[in-house]
C-alpha cells in the first residue's frame, strides 16, 4: 500500500471514530458496545491524524519513524515469536518478550501513522499468541524475589510490558473483529492487569518505582478496556481510598523540587511510568489536572533530572549504572511530554542531544520546535534540590562553574533513598573537563548480562558498592553509616545548613547527626575562583564531633593516573595487604601507607590531559593510605579503582580539610604540557573558638582563605587569629583575599 | 593594516623578488649579495602570493590561518621571551623555546599571507634575542645522554627548533636590514647549523631519526643562508661521500614499502623532517627528483603510516605513546605534501579527519580539494608491509575486515627497530569495534610530563614495556627475546611464510629462529568469516620446536572486564603473589592460577558493549594464569592491565592454539543484550605427520576447520585424520567448512 492510499484509509477510519469522544467512555463504568469503544484513547484520533499528515516534515520525527519501521519490520520478518517463559534477565525468552512489547508498541504506532494494515495484523497475531499463552502461565520458572512475574522473572518486567503493550493495543484495537478483540481484551490485558493489581498487592500497593510501573500498566489498560474500576484502583489503590496508587506515589516519592527519593538513576527509570501514565490521565481525564498536581511536580522532575547530570550522564549516587544518561528512552519521553506542556525551549537542546523523540503528539511538537530552530541551551546551574515529600529530608547540592563541561561539585546530603540507597551521608563527587574526577562507584551490576548473576545486583553491590568506605565520606571505626541498615537510614537525613552562590564563591554546608551513635559530622564545601588560579578549586572541610576516641577514615575515590605521591610512602610493591575485614574494607588492596604525621600532604594525578593536585590535612596526626578496589572478588565483579584514605586514630573531635585543584593541560597530539605545576604553595587550617579558617597560600604569594563558623547562623560574629593575622566575619562563612603577607 | 592593503603590499614585495629565481642561488656556492639573496626560498614568492590571494576561499586554509593567528598573537601579546635554558622537557624554559619556534614559524607565514609587518618585526625581535643568547650557550645544564642540546636538554629538540625556525626566518629574511640579517644569519642560524652538524657528528652522521631532524634543520638552513656547503653535508654527510646524510637515511631507514624501521610511532615522528626537508629540496633542486627517489618511497611512507593505524591511532608496536594518531602535526604535513604530489583523493578524507592542513602551497591544494568535495574514503586494506632497506628484514602484517572500525589483526614480524624496538617477535594485536582488544602496552612514558622523570622513558619502559612477557608472544624460561639485547635483535628478523587474502579467509604466517638459542617458533594467524558466526574470528596457532624441555609462556594482554573465567581457578582474593623475578615478570600480580590440564579453556570479557570469548589449548597439559601489571612499581608509573598467561612446562616441542571470537552487544542506554553467548561450542587441535588442523565446532552444529602445514610450500600435500574425519589439502593451509558431522 502506498503512502497516499494509507493516509486516506486512516483518515476514513479516523472520521468514524471522532463521533465517540475518546475520553467519554473512561468516565463511565458501564461498558459500551465494542463498535463505538474500540478507537484509540491514549492518543486521540485527531492527534494521530496530525502526526500522519505532518510528521514527515520534521526531520527528527521522520527519523524516529524510520527507526521504528526498521525495528518493527525486523520483528515482522522474524515472525510472531511468543516463547514459553524460561530465562532470567538477559536470556532468550526474556529478551524476546522485551522485543515483543517494543514491536507491539511500534506496530500500533506505525499502523496509525501509515495506515498500513500489515502492522495492525502483526500486532493482532502476536496478541492472539499471547492470548493463548498467558492464561496457561503460573509463576515464572526463574522467578525472583517477592514478586516473580509471569512473562518475566520479576513482575516489574511484566508491568513494563503492559505499559507499552497497552499503548500498542490501543492503536490497533479498532481494527479487530469483535471476537479477536474480546479474546485479547480478556485473555491478555485484563488478566495481566488483574495479575499486576489484585493478585500482587504486595507490589501494587507499595510506594516504590515497581509499583509505579504496575499502576501505570493497570491504569492504562483500564482506559483502553474502558474499565473504570481498573483506572480507579491504579489512581487510588486497591481499596480506592488514596492510601496507595499513583496519586499517593506522586505525593510521597517526589520532593517539592521534583527530586525522586531513590536518586537520579532510579528517577530516570521511574520517570517513564509517571510521565506516560500521567499523559494518559491527562488525555482521558483532563479535569484532573495531573500535570499541575503539587505545583507541577512531574514536570519539575524532568528538569531536576537533567540538572542531576554531567557530561550527559546522570550523577551516579546510590545504586546506579554509570552509562545511563540523558539519551535514555525514559528521558526522551520526559523531555517530549514536558516540552509539549511548558514550551521551554531549553528542553529542545536536550532533545537535540538525545537525537530522537517520541512518535506521539508531544514528540511531534519537539520535532517541530527543533525544525523551527527554537532550541536554546539548557542552563546547568548551581542548585540545592530538596529531598522528601515535604522537602525536609535532606537535599542534593550541586555547585557549578564554567558551563556544562566545567566544574561540578555534588554534595549528597539526601535521605537514604530506600533499599537502593547507599550508606554515604555527606558524600561528594567532583566533575571537571567533562570527566568524573572524584567518583562514586555506582552499583556493582552488569545489567541484563546473564554471565554476571543473570544481570541482577551482584553480591559486591552489598559488600562494596553500598558501603561507606566505597564513598568519599566519613567512616567511623570501619563501620558503615547506620550499621549498613537502610531502614535505619530512612529515619535520619542530613540537615542542610548553608547554600550560597556568589560570583567566584559557591558554598554548601550540611550536618549529619545519626549515621553513628554519638558522632555528629559537618561538611562544608566551596568552589572558589581566583585570578591567580587556573580554574576553580574545591575547599572541603569536614568537622567531626564524637563522644569517644575512634578511628576516623576519610576516603577520596579519584580517577586518573598518579603523577606524584607527595609524602613518604611505604609501598606495597611486592605484596599488597588487604585493608580490613568487612564493610567494604575487605575489597581494598593497600598500595601504599604512611606513618602518622601532622603535616599536610599532596597527591597529584592526570586525567584526560588535565592535572589534579589534592592537598589534605587534619587536626591531628593522620596516616595516608593508597588503596585499590578488587580484593576478595572471586568472580572479577569489581572494577579496580584507586582511592586515598586519610586515617585519624584515637581522636574524639577532629577536622579534615583539603583543597582539590584542577590545573594545566597535557596535549598528547601536540606534545605540549602547560600548567603542570600546582599554583598553590600550601594550605593551612586555623582554629578559633567557634570557627575554622582554611588558608591557601598561592605560588603568586597571594592568600585565599575561607572562614567557616561552627554554626551557620547569619548574625554571629567570629574571629580567628594566628601568626599575627586576624580573620573576622559575621555569619556562617566568609572569604578572604589578601596580598602577600607582611 | 587592513587586509586589502596588506595583500597589495605583499604583492609589491613579491614582484621585486621574482627577478631572482628562488632556486638559482642554492645551486651555486658563491654567496650572492644580501639584497638579491634575501627572498624566500623554501616557499616560492609566487606560491606565497597564491596563498595570500586565494587561501581565504577555502575553509580549511582559512581556519588554519585563524588558528595560527591566535597562536602568534598570543605570543606577541606575551612579548619576546627567550629565556636562558635551564629546564628539562616539560619545564618552563623548554616549553618557552618550543613556543618560540612555533611562533617564529607562524609569524613568518602570517607575514607572507597578510603582509602585516608586525609579524615580521616580532620574528626579527625574537631572533635578535636569540642572536644575543645563543653564542653564550654551552651544553644545556639539564643536558641528557650523548648529545645534550644548547637551547634544550637534548640536541634533538634543537634540531626541531631549527627545522621550524629556518622556515619562519626564510619568510621574513627579506624584511631585515643588512645588519640584522647578518647578525641573525651568523649568530643564530649558522651557529646552530654548525652545532648540529660538525660539532655533534655523533648525531649528525647516524642513521636514525635524531639525525634526520639534524640534517633537515642544517640543510634547510643551508638553503636559507644560500650556503651550499651546509646543504651538501646535510644531503651526503659531513664527508660529503654519501655514507651519511639525508639520502643515505632514506635508503636505510625505509623499506621498499615505505615502512620505517622503528615502527609507526617513530615513523610518524621521523616523517616530519623527511617530508619537510624533501619538500625544501624539491623546491630548490627539483632536478634531484627527491620524491621519486627509490620508487617514491617517501610518499609511500605516508600511505603506509596511515595503513598502520586503527581508529585514528597508530598501532603502538615498539616504544609508542598510545594517544598518537592520524591527527598529529607530522602526518598533517605528510598528507599535505603527499596529496600535492599524487592528487590521491583518499588522502583528502584523512585531511578531513585531521581537521587542519598546512599554511603552505600543499596545504592550499588540500583545502581546495576538500572545498571541491573531492575527498574519497581512505581504503584500509589487508597489507603485508616489508621491513628493512631491501625489504628482507621481516614484515608487518595487517589483516582487516569490515572497514575502518571493523576487525584488524596485526602480526608483528618486523625487524628489531633499533633501540626503541621491543622484544616481541611474532607479537600480535587485535582491534574490533573501534577498540584495542588484544593490546600492546606501548611505551612506559609520560611524554614531557616533568613529574614523571622529566617526561623521558621511565625505568619501567625497560623493565616492563620492552620485555617479551609484556607482549602476546612466546616467552621461553621467563627470558626475553635475544636476552633483552636489541643489538643482538638487530641481527635477526622473522621470516614471513605466508600471506593470503581471500573472501572470508585471511591468513598470515611467519617464523622466528633466533630469539632463543635452540628454539624455532612459527605463528599462523587467520581471520575467518562464517555465516553462523556473528563476526570474523581469529584463529591463532603457535608451534614451538625446541632442543630441550623448557617453560613456555604465552601471554595474552586483553582489554575489558572479565565476564567468565571458564576453568577451575585458584583466586588470589586476599593475597596476590608476584609472578616472577625479572624480565617483566616482577611487574605482574597473580590474580588467579590453575593446575595443569590438557582441556581447552575459555575466558570471556566485555569491552565497550561487545563480548569477546577466547578459547585456548595446547599440545600438552598447561596452566592458565590471570595476571595484572603494576607490581614492583614504586612510583605508580605503570597502567594496571590484565593478561592471561598460558604456561606449558617441560616440553621441547609444543603447540599453542586458540580462537578469539567477538560477539554480541550490550547497549546500556537501551538496556538490551544480544548475542552474549559464544557461537562456538568447542575447539580442537588435530595433529598429522606434517600439519595441524584446528577444528571449530559451532553451536549451529557446523564445522569450521583450518589446516596449517608445518611447511608453507605450495605444492606439498597434507593429510590429517582423526575421529574418522580426514582433512586433506595441498599447500601451506586450507580451510574446511562442513555440515554437522555424521
What's the grid cell of residue B550? 623448557
Find residues 147-176 of chain A whose CB sits inside 8 Å of chain B: none
Cα nearest neighbour of A573 on chain B: B632
What sign has the CA pseudo-torsion A442, A443, A446, A448?
A: negative
Angle at CA A345, nearest 5°, toward A342 and A348?
105
Strand B475-476, strand B550-557: pairing: antiparallel
Q: Which chain A residues are within 8 Å of B633, Cβ to Cβ?
A: 573
Q: Is the pLDDT of residue B565 over 60?
A: yes
Q: Which of A386, A389, A357, A360 is nearest to A371 (CA)?
A: A357
Q: For residue range A517-562, what is the model confidence (pLDDT) as tens digits?
A: 999 999 999 999 999 998 999 999 999 999 999 999 999 999 999 9
Give me the phi and psi of B25, to 5 degrees please. -70, -40
Contact call for A563 and B673, based on CB within 8 A? no
Q: How confident is the model at residue A36 (pLDDT cuts 50, 70, 90)?
A: low
| Average pLDDT of every residue of chain B | 93
Residue B500 has pLDDT above 90, yes or no: yes
- List Cβ neighbours of B220 (8 Å cut-off, separation of 6 or more): B42, B162, B163, B166, B167, B170, B276, B277, B280
pLDDT tier at B15, thresholds 50, 70, 90 = very low
Task: Please indicate whether, in this complex, the C-beta atoms of B449 and A606 are within 8 angstroms of each other.
Answer: yes
Distant-in-sequence contacts of B9-17, Cβ < 8 A, 24+ apart: B9/B115, B10/B48, B10/B49, B10/B52, B10/B112, B10/B113, B10/B114, B10/B115, B11/B49, B11/B52, B13/B115, B13/B174, B14/B45, B14/B46, B14/B48, B14/B49, B17/B45, B17/B174
| Active-site hit among A111, A223, A265, A266 | A266
User: Mean per-residue pLDDT for A41-45?
Assistant: 97
Contact, A49 vs A14, CB < 8 A? yes
Q: Do A574 and B578 touch (CB under 8 A)?
A: yes
Count of all residues that appear for chain A in the document: 742
In angstroms, the CA A278 to CA A333 distance is 12
Per-residue pLDDT at B454: 84
Q: What pLDDT shows up at residue B143?
A: 83
The per-residue pLDDT for A143 is 84
How close does chain A come to B233, measured CA to CA in Å?
A: 30
- Number of Cβ within 10 Å of residue A182's Cβ equals 13
Cα within 13 Å of Cα(A27), Cβ side: 12
Rounded Cα distance, B566 and B576, in Å:
20
Q: Distance of alpha carbon A416 from its chain centroid, rounded?
A: 14
Q: How far apart are CA B395 and CA B258, in angstroms?
A: 11
| A667 contacts in chain B (CB < 8 Å) | none
Please say if the pLDDT value at position A2 is more than 80.
no
How far is residue A155's CA from residue A144's CA, in Å, rounded to a whole number?
9
Q: What is the pLDDT confidence band of residue A680, given thresholds at 50, 70 and 90?
A: very high
- Mode of pairing for the β-strands spanning A435-438 and A537-546: unpaired
Average pLDDT over residues B602-630: 98
In this prediction, what percent of chain B has a pLDDT beyond 70? 94
**Planar angle of CA A521, A526, A528, nearest 5 degrees:** 160
What are the tens digits of pLDDT across the range B118-157? 999 999 999 999 999 999 999 999 887 678 999 999 999 9
Question: How do residues A216-260 score in pLDDT, each as one tens digit?
Answer: 999 999 999 999 999 999 999 999 999 999 999 999 999 999 999
How sure is the predictor about A27, in pLDDT bands with cuts at 50, 70 and 90? very low
First-to-last C-alpha distance (Å) of chain B: 87
Interface of B with A in 457-516 (CB under 8 A): none
What pLDDT, in 10s, does the model give residues B148-185? 999 999 999 999 999 999 999 999 999 999 999 999 99
Answer yes or no: are the C-beta atoms of A726 and A695 closer than 8 Å: no
Determine which helix (DSSP H) or strand (DSSP E) holds A29, and give its type and residue range. Answer: none
Using pLDDT thresholds of 50, 70 and 90, give the confidence band for residue B695. very high
Inform me whether the pLDDT recorded for B35 exceeds 70: no
Closest Cα to residue A696, out of A541, A555, A498, A473?
A541
Nearest to A271 by CA among A331, A204, A356, A344: A331
CA angle, corner B318, sides to B317 and B320, nearest 5?
80
Query: Is A557 a catalytic site residue?
Result: no
pLDDT number for residue A89: 80
Query: Rounded to whole angstroms, how far apart are CA atoms A280 and A274?
Result: 10
- B88 pLDDT band, cuts 50/70/90, is confident
CB B143 within 8 A of CB B137: no
Chain B, residues 625-664, CB within 8 A of chain A, namely: 628, 631-636, 639-640
Q: What is the residue-wise DSSP string for B237-264?
A: TTTTSSSSSHHHHHHHHB-TTS-BTT-H
Average pLDDT in chain A: 93
- Cβ atoms of residues A462 and A415 within 8 Å: no
Cα angle: A220, vertex A226, A228; to 5 degrees? 80
Task: Give the chain A residue whose CA is nearest to the CA of B560.
Answer: A639
B420 is catalytic: yes
- A480-523 residue pLDDT tens: 999 999 999 999 999 999 999 999 999 999 999 999 999 999 99
8 Å CB contact of B632 and A574: yes
CA separation for the pair A529, A406 (Å, rounded): 12
* Terminal alpha carbon distance of chain A: 88
Q: Whole-angstrom Cα distance, residue A293 to residue B89?
A: 63
Residue recorded with cell 654548525: B194
Range with the lowest mean pLDDT among B35-39, B343-347, B521-525, B702-706? B35-39
Query: What pLDDT was estimated at residue B36?
Result: 56
Please compute the mean of the pLDDT values over residues A30-58 and round it to a whole number. Answer: 82
Q: DSSP code of A558?
A: B
DSSP state of B491: T
Cα dihedral A679→A682→A687→A692 (10° resolution): 20
Task: Provide the angle, in degrees to the nearest 10, between the axes of the packed helices B155-172 and B92-114.
Answer: 20
C-alpha cell recorded at residue B501: 587474502
Partners of residue B98 in chain A, C-beta under 8 Å: 672
If we measure between CA atoms, which residue out of B377, B385, B382 comes closest to residue B409?
Answer: B382
Summarize the confidence of residues B302-313 as an average pLDDT: 98
More reliable by pLDDT, B146 or B279: B279
What element of type H or E holds B128? helix B117-133
How far apart CA B468 and CA B516 sit, in angstroms, is 12
Residue A714, Cβ density class (10 Å: 0-12 exposed, 13-18 middle, ≥19 buried): exposed
CA-wise closest residue to A668 among B150, B157, B90: B90
Q: Give the predicted TM-score (pTM) of the model.
A: 0.91
Residue A741 has what pLDDT? 57
Residue tagged 620492552 (cell numbers): B466
Whether A449 and B573 lie within 8 Å, measured CB to CB: no
Instruction: Choose among B450, B564, B669: nearest Cβ to A328.
Output: B669
Compute the distance between CA of residue B669 and CA of residue A325 in angstroms, rounded to an integer: 7
* A5: pLDDT strictly greater than 60: no
Of the residues A97, A420, A557, A663, which is catalytic?
Answer: A420
pLDDT digit string (tens) for A254-298?
Answer: 999 999 999 999 999 999 999 999 999 999 999 999 999 999 999
Region class of A318: left (phi > 0), else alpha (psi between -120 and 50), else beta: left
From chain A, pick out residues whose CB is under 8 angstroms from the CB of B321.
668
Task: Assign B571 to helix, strand or coil.
Answer: strand
CA B568 to chain centre: 40
Q: Which of B161, B607, B676 to mutate to test the interface with A (most CBs of A within 10 A)?
A: B676
Interface membership of A455 toward B (CB under 8 Å): yes
Residues in CB range of A16: below 8 A, 6 or more apart: none
Report the pLDDT value the prediction gives residue A249, as an integer from 0 to 100: 96
**Which residues of chain B are within 8 Å of residue A561 when distances are taken between CB atoms?**
446, 636, 639
A452 close contact with B: CB closer than 8 A: yes
Q: How far is A553 from chain B (nearest CA, A)?
A: 21
pLDDT in tens, B351-407: 999 999 999 999 999 999 999 999 999 999 999 999 999 999 999 999 999 999 999
Q: Does position B30 have pLDDT exceeding 70, yes or no?
A: no
Q: How far B157 CA lies from chain A's nearest CA (Å)?
A: 12
Judge whether residue A440 has pLDDT over 60. Answer: yes
B448, B573, B666 member nearest A631 (Cβ): B573
Amino acid at each position: 500500500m502506498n503512502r497516499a492510499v494509507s493516509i486516506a484509509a486512516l483518515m476514513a477510519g479516523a472520521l468514524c471514530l471522532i463521533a465517540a469522544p475518546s475520553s467519554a467512555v473512561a468516565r463511565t463504568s458501564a461498558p459500551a458496545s465494542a463498535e463505538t469503544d474500540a478507537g484509540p484513547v491514549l492518543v486521540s484520533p485527531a492527534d494521530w491524524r496530525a502526526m500522519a499528515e505532518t510528521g514527515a516534515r520534521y526531520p527528527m520525527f521522520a527519523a524516529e519513524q524510520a527507526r521504528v519501521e526498521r525495528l518493527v519490520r525486523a520483528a515482522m520478518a522474524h515472525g510472531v515469536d511468543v516463547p514459553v517463559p524460561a530465562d532470567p534477565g538477559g536470556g532468550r525468552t526474556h529478551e524476546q518478550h522485551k522485543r515483543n512489547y517494543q514491536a507491539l508498541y511500534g506496530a500500533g504506532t506505525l499502523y496509525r501513522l501509515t495506515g498500513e494494515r500489515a502492522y495492525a495484523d502483526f500486532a493482532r497475531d502476536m496478541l492472539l499468541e499471547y492470548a493463548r499463552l498467558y492464561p496457561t502461565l503460573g509463576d515464572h520458572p526463574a522467578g525472583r524475589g517477592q514478586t516473580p512475574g509471569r512473562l518475566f522473572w520479576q513482575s516489574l518486567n511484566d508491568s513494563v510490558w503492559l505499559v507499552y503493550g497497552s499503548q500498542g493495543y490501543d492503536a490497533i484495537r479498532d481494527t479487530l473483529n469483535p471476537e479477536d478483540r474480546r479474546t485479547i481484551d480478556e485473555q491478555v490485558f485484563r488478566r495481566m492487569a488483574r495479575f499486576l493489581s489484585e493478585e500482587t498487592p504486595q507490589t501494587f500497593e507499595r510506594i516504590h518505582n515497581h509499583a509505579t510501573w504496575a499502576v501505570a500498566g493497570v491504569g492504562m489498560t483500564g482506559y483502553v478496556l474502558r474499565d473504570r474500576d481498573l483506572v480507579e484502583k491504579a489512581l487510588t489503590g486497591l481499596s480506592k481510598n488514596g492510601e496507595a496508587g499513583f496519586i499517593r506515589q506522586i505525593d510521597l516519592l517526589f520532593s517539592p523540587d521534583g527530586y525522586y527519593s531513590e536518586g537520579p538513576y532510579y528517577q530516570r527509570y521511574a520517570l517513564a511510568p509517571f510521565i506516560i501514565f500521567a499523559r494518559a490521565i491527562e488525555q482521558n481525564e483532563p479535569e484532573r489536572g495531573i500535570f499541575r498536581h503539587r505545583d507541577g511536580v512531574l514536570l519539575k522532575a524532568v528538569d531536576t533530572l537533567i540538572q542531576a547530570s554531567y557530561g550527559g550522564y546522570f550523577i551516579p549516587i546510590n545504586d546506579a549504572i554509570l552509562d545511563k544518561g540523558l539519551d535514555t528512552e525514559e528521558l526522551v519521553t520526559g523531555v517530549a511530554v514536558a516540552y509539549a506542556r511548558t514550551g521551554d525551549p531549553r528542553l529542545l537542546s536536550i532533545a537535540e542531544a538525545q537525537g530522537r523523540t517520541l512518535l506521539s503528539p508531544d514528540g511531534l511538537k519537539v520535532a517541530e520546535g527543533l525544525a523551527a530552530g527554537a532550541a536554546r541551551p539548557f542552563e546547568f546551574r548551581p542548585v540545592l534540590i530538596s529531598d522528601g515529600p515535604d522537602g525536609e529530608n535532606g537535599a542534593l547540592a550541586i555547585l557549578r562553574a564554567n558551563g556544562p563541561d566545567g566544574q561540578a561539585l555534588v554534595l549528597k546530603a539526601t535521605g537514604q533513598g530506600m533499599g537502593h540507597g547507599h550508606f554515604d551521608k555527606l558524600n561528594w563527587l567532583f566533575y571537571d573537563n567533562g570527566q568524573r574526577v572524584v567518583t562514586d562507584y555506582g552499583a556493582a551490576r552488569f545489567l541484563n548480562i546473564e554471565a554476571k548473576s543473570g544481570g541482577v545486583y551482584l553480591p559486591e553491590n552489598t559488600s562494596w558498592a553500598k558501603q561507606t568506605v566505597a564513598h568519599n565520606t566519613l567512616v567511623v571505626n570501619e563501620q558503615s553509616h547506620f550499621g549498613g541498615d537502610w531502614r535505619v537510614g530512612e529515619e535520619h537525613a542530613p540537615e542542610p545548613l548553608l547554600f550560597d552562590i556568589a560570583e567566584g564563591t559557591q558554598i554548601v554546608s550540611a550536618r549529619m547527626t545519626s549515621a553513628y551513635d554519638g558522632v555528629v559530622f559537618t561538611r562544608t564545601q566551596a568552589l572558589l575562583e581566583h585570578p591567580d588560579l587556573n580554574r576553580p578549586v574545591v575547599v572541603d572541610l569536614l568537622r567531626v564531633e564524637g563522644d569517644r576516641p575512634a578511628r576516623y577514615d576519610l576516603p577520596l575515590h579519584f580517577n586518573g593516573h598518579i603523577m606524584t605521591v607527595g609524602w613518604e610512602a611505604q609501598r606495597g610493591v611486592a605484596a599488597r595487604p588487604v585493608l580490613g575485614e568487612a564493610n567494604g574494607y575487605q575489597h581494598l588492596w593497600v598500595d601504599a601507607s604512611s606513618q602518622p604525621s601532622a603535616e599536610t600532604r599532596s597527591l597529584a594525578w592526570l586525567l584526560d590531559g588535565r592535572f589534579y593536585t589534592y592537598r589534605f590535612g587534619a587536626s591531628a596526626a593522620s596516616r595516608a593510605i593508597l588503596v585499590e578496589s578488587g580484593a576478595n572478588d572471586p568472580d572479577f565483579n569489581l572494577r579496580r579503582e584507586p582511592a586515598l584514605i586519610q586515617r585519624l586514630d584515637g581522636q574524639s573531635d577532629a577536622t579534615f580539610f583539603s583543597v582539590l585543584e584542577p590545573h594545566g593541560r597535557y596535549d598528547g597530539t601536540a606534545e605540549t604540557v602547560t600548567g603542570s605545576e600546582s599554583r598553590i604553595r600550601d594550605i593551612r587550617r586555623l582554629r578559633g573558638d567557634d570557627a575554622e579558617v582554611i588558608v591557601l597560600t598561592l605560588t603568586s604569594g597571594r592568600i585565599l582563605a575561607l572562614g567557616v563558623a561552627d554554626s551557620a547562623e547569619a548574625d554571629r560574629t567570629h574571629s580567628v587569629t594566628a601568626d599575627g593575622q586576624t580573620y573576622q566575619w559575621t555569619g556562617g562563612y566568609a572569604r578572604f583575599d589578601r596580598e602577600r603577607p607582611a
